[in-house]
Amino acid sequence: MMKREIDAFEGMMRTAREWLAGRDPWEIARNAGVSFDGSAFALSSLGEEIRVSFPAYEIEPRLDPWRQMVLLHYLKLADGAPLYGRLMAFAELKSGLARGGDFDRGCEAAIRDRLGGLDPEALRAKCEGLGARMLDSNADLCAEFPYLPRFPLTLKLWFADEEFPASGRLMLDASADHYLTIEDAVTAGQLLMYKLTGVP
């Protein structure tokens, strides 16, 4: 990041921490589905155990800066809504038609070009290494990733065959608007796709 971007990012992190500092930590934990022991929040994300200190809201282990931002925003925005159990595209998020639609299209291309040609068992192992659980589905592979406790991301993929190229989508639970903005949701999707494909 350039200095201007670093300064802007640090300002956003500071604002998120200041907002959280004024909230009841027990309410935050309850709404976000994380545990709280009086000194830190604890949660699992993509196969990693993460702690967020209280009241400083410092995150361990050290994560990608944008992943830290998404996590703090999740703690800020979570309202305790249950998962709806219905999948939707990023474009269906509130205010998501443009940014979410662009992400959906780019993601579908990355799934087709970079994941669809992988050995199915190798891809399954990669997904499980990120904490995903494999779901029964009409797709050849359906993996639900616990990006955050109440913000799963679901990959549905059909591998290529003699007649059709590979295809697939990364999808959200329809409750996603209760937990992240469109900007944060797209960032989460980008970070997961990077972990799966190795391409930013």
Q: What is the mean pLDDT of each run of 10 residues along the chain (200 residues)?
A: 70 90 95 98 97 96 94 97 97 92 96 92 96 96 98 96 91 98 97 91
Return mean pLDDT, the chain: 94
Two tokens, residue 124: 């399954």
The answer to whether 39 and 53 have CB atoms below 8 angstroms apart is yes
pLDDT, position 198: 87
pLDDT, position 5: 67
Helices then strands, each counted (H, E), the chain:
6, 9
CATH of domain 87-197: 3.30.310
Distances (CA, A) of 69 to 9, 10, 11: 9, 10, 11
DSSP bridge pairs for 60:
51
Distances (CA, A) of 137 to 29, 97, 157: 32, 26, 10
Distances (CA, A) of 170 to 126, 146, 159: 16, 13, 15
Residue ranges of the domains in the chain?
3-77, 87-197
* 72-128: pLDDT as tens digits: 999 999 999 999 999 999 999 999 889 999 999 999 999 999 998 899 999 999 999
Alpha carbons within 13 angstroms on the beta-carbon side of residue 3 total 0
pLDDT, position 163: 86
